[in-house]
């Protein structure tokens, strides 16, 4: 299986708590490049970290984690690098306050 990344996120603001997930896959160009795995990880990192916020970034060979406090709460993103043959996953998103209200 080709390198891919499992991303999960959670956030809270004045409207409630939200969570979601997504699988990032390597592009055709990244798969063909000699250092495509590094370009892929760089792209995922750039889509995860907020440059206009103040947060904490943790990076290991297995995952990256971004956490930031916002004006109304927080935003947290975990990305796990994976080369396993995973079943297809669909992106998902939850609005916990709406679910609690029965929507």
Domain boundaries, the chain: 4-100
- Note whether 6 and 65 are within 8 A (CB): no
pTM comes to 0.87
CA–CA gap between residue 91 and residue 1 (Å, rounded): 19
- Note whether 83 and 92 are within 8 A (CB): no
pLDDT in tens, the chain (103 residues): 689 999 999 999 999 999 999 999 999 999 999 999 999 999 999 999 988 889 999 999 999 999 999 999 999 999 999 999 888 789 999 999 999 999 8
């Amino acid at each position: 299986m080709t390198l891919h990344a499992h991303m999960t996120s959670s956030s809270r603001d004045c409207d409630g708590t939200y969570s979601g997930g997504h699988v990032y896959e390597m592009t055709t160009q990244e798969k063909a490049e000699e250092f495509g795995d590094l370009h892929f990880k760089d792209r995922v990192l750039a889509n995860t970290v907020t440059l206009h916020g103040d947060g904490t970034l943790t990076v290991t060979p297995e995952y990256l984690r971004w956490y930031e406090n916002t004006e109304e709460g927080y935003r947290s993103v975990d990305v796990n690098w994976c080369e396993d043959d995973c079943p297809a996953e669909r992106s998902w998103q939850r609005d916990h306050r709406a679910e609690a209200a029965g929507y």
